[in-house]
Amino acid sequence: MPTMVLVPEKLSDEEYLVERAKESLSFNRYEAKSWMITAKTLFPDNFGVQFEAYQIEKSARSVKEAAKCISQIFQKFQDESELWLEVEAITSALRSDSGDPNMVFLRDMFSHIPTDVQHELLLQTASRSEDTMEHCRLLLLLLRQFPATIPQHGPKLVETLMTAEKHCHYQNAVNCYRKLLVYDLLPLLGTSQVDLPPKHLFRMLQKSIEFYLAYLMLPNKSIPDLPELESKIEDPWKNLFAIQEMTGKKLNWELSTVFWNKEIYWQKIVQFRADHPLTPDDYANHKQMLYCTTTFFLYCLHEYVGMLDPGGGEQSLVLLEAFTPLTASSSSDDSGETKAKRRKLEASDEAAAPILTGPPRAVGNLTATTVGAGLTSSPVVHSFLMAVRCWELLYSTESLEREFSRLAQHLKLDVWLQGFLMDAALYSGNFESALSLVRSQPEPPPTSLAALRRHLRLASICYCLGQYQAAVEQVMQVVTILSAVPASSPFVPGSLQQVSRSGRHLHFLPIGRSHLLYYCVKLVLATLKKCLQRPDCDTDLIIGHMTVLVQLDWPLEEELMDQLVQRIHHKGSFTYSPFQHYVISIDLLEEFVYLTTEQGGAIPLEIVPSTQPSSQRRISTRGADKGVKEDFKQAMRRQAARSIEPLEPLIIRFLTSERTLLIQALQ
């Protein structure tokens, strides 16, 4: 038999009934319920009795009975503060997806409250809230629960959120009020039949673009002044596309559909542009082209910027002018017919776009991906080309350019556009503009990633402008900080040199130690090739430098070396004092030894300190060793013994130690 608890004396009748119900609850739920039914029947207008009945049903996890109780209480006792505390708990549970048992119970209970009471409860709760943010969040809850009320309350909530944001003077578009407007409210408006004037729709779309763009720029991707679960956005682009699609449907736009396939969407833009003149007075189509192309441009640009600096252990990239196969022979060696053919070929290809190659990591197991004017499977090349196309389209008419420039300023695109504009200018061949853009940026810390990019871009652009000494000086800056660069994946032979009809080749170079060194060497070789064509150049010095450098990418540079050997034959002698310190390739050593033989032309060489006059020299490692001077042969053997030395440190030492001689060869 259960232990009886004495009920305190001097209680009112209703208090007595409530205490008996509480007493019984611990051992007999049905008895407790009987006491509460009695109390509720005798005292229907007593809030304490009615609320206690609700609490008992709630503790018993009786969803339907609790819902019935809270509905009756809400309809009769709206002045009671204890009621509103409970309503606050209910609305908090509705805004949460927590698996906490109490939260789950409150959500289930709310679903069993009559619909008209649900609506009134949420509306009254929002009206009573003195905090603007809480008021807006409660109205959003109302709109989600009752979509039919969106036309009634939605437009007013838009104004409330915009006014609140304005009065709070936020410095950034990423704030709690803008998030509620763009992320929570606008999708609801899109699903309803509410009509907004076109200017309001343009304004909402612009605010959405601004918000999501600013959010993507946030380092921590967290919106301030919101609960943690509401402060992050999983897929900003998907949400922005949905808003654009919603806006487009209301405005009957052709280009509003989601563009996950970039090539197909670009073709839609091109077709739309062909079908519409886009004159300034064609307001509707003008706005459609502006906003849809801008959103697509920003999507491609964001992808591109993200691929340049991917993080997560992947190497960053930089777009640079790479190289096409060229011989080292001077222009004087060309026949008139050959030069005429070359001029004709160059003239016919002036309008051709340069080819683009991407790094191996962007294209799976392929060594590089090459494109001309078309697209490619390389994501970084694909996104860059799409962004360039959109940029050119947005500047194709004065009215579009004016509107986009105004929009870009409002969206604060400067941060994203800086690097892209440099790359776009390089791609289009506007080298002076590219140089000006690079030099206009503040000097970054000396060993930073930004510093490497700056030196590499300057080297690349100066080379394109024919400023060879300036290009090599920038290369030297890169070489001096190579030790601070992370080790890279192995360099892919041949990736920096591609055949191009247009005569131009650009490459997305991974910023890793080996890749940078190979690029620096290729660029110095390219400048030396150009300088070797001058009639007044120091031929021996240039050939000597090139001989050292071709070792790094041997045997791919074998054709170039053959050209250099022909120049030595043409000159009849060769002198290069640093030879003994830097030339260790067996193939090259054999070639130079062969030059001193009768078969090789008996060329006088001054390349080792102990070399005797050329008239006494006859040496070859290709089967004609008779008569050679022992000191020269021993010097070559000592050189050959060093062939196991790693080449990269040797080339770095050459570029740093022989800097003065390198610059001298370019003057």
CATH number at residue 109: 1.25.40
Domain count for the chain? 2
**53-57, 424-428, 608-612, 652-656: least confidently modelled range:** 608-612
Examine residue 385 and state whether it is found in any structural domain, yes or no: no
Q: Which of 128, 163, 181 is the last residue of a domain?
A: 128
The arithmetic mean of pLDDT across residues 364-387, rounded, is: 63
556: containing domain: 535-667
Mean pLDDT of 463-468: 95
Q: What is the pLDDT of residue 136?
A: 94
Domain boundary among 96, 128, 160: 128
Q: What integer is the mean pLDDT of 222-251?
A: 91
Phi, psi of 3 (to 5 degrees): -70, 135
Would you say residue 518 has pLDDT above 70? yes
For the chain, give the percent of residues with pLDDT over 70.
83
**Which of 128, 148, 166 finishes a domain?**
128
- Angstrom distance (rounded) from CA 160 to CA 132: 8
Contact residues for 608 (Cβ-Cβ < 8 A; gap 6+): 579, 580, 632, 635, 636, 639
pLDDT at site 360: 56
Q: In degrees rounded to 5, what are phi and psi of residue 175?
A: -145, 170
- pLDDT for res 503: 83
Say if pTM beats, i.e. exceeds, 0.85: no
Cα dihedral across residues 569, 570, 574, 579: positive or negative: negative
How crowded is residue 489: how many other Cβ atoms within 10 Å of its Cβ?
14
Q: Name the average pLDDT for the chain.
A: 84
Show Cβ contacts of residue 553 under 8 Å, excluding neighbours closer than 6 positions: 493, 518, 521, 522
Residue 19 counted as domain residue? yes
Q: Is residue 360 domain-resident?
A: no
- Compute the distance between CA of residue 630 and CA of residue 620 in angstroms, rounded to an integer: 12
Residue-wise pLDDT for 587-630, tens only, equals 999 999 889 888 888 889 898 875 444 444 444 444 444 444 67
> What's the CA gap between 443 and 66, in Å, rounded?
68
pLDDT, position 25 = 62
- 601 within domain boundaries: yes
- pLDDT at position 331 over 70: no
Task: Report yes or no on 464 lying in a domain.
Answer: no
Q: Domain for residue 133, yes or no?
A: no
Residue 667 covered by a domain:
yes
The pair phi, psi for residue 162, each rounded to 5°, is -65, -40
How many Å apart are CA 324 and CA 76, to the nearest integer?
A: 86
| Residue 547 falls inside a structural domain | yes
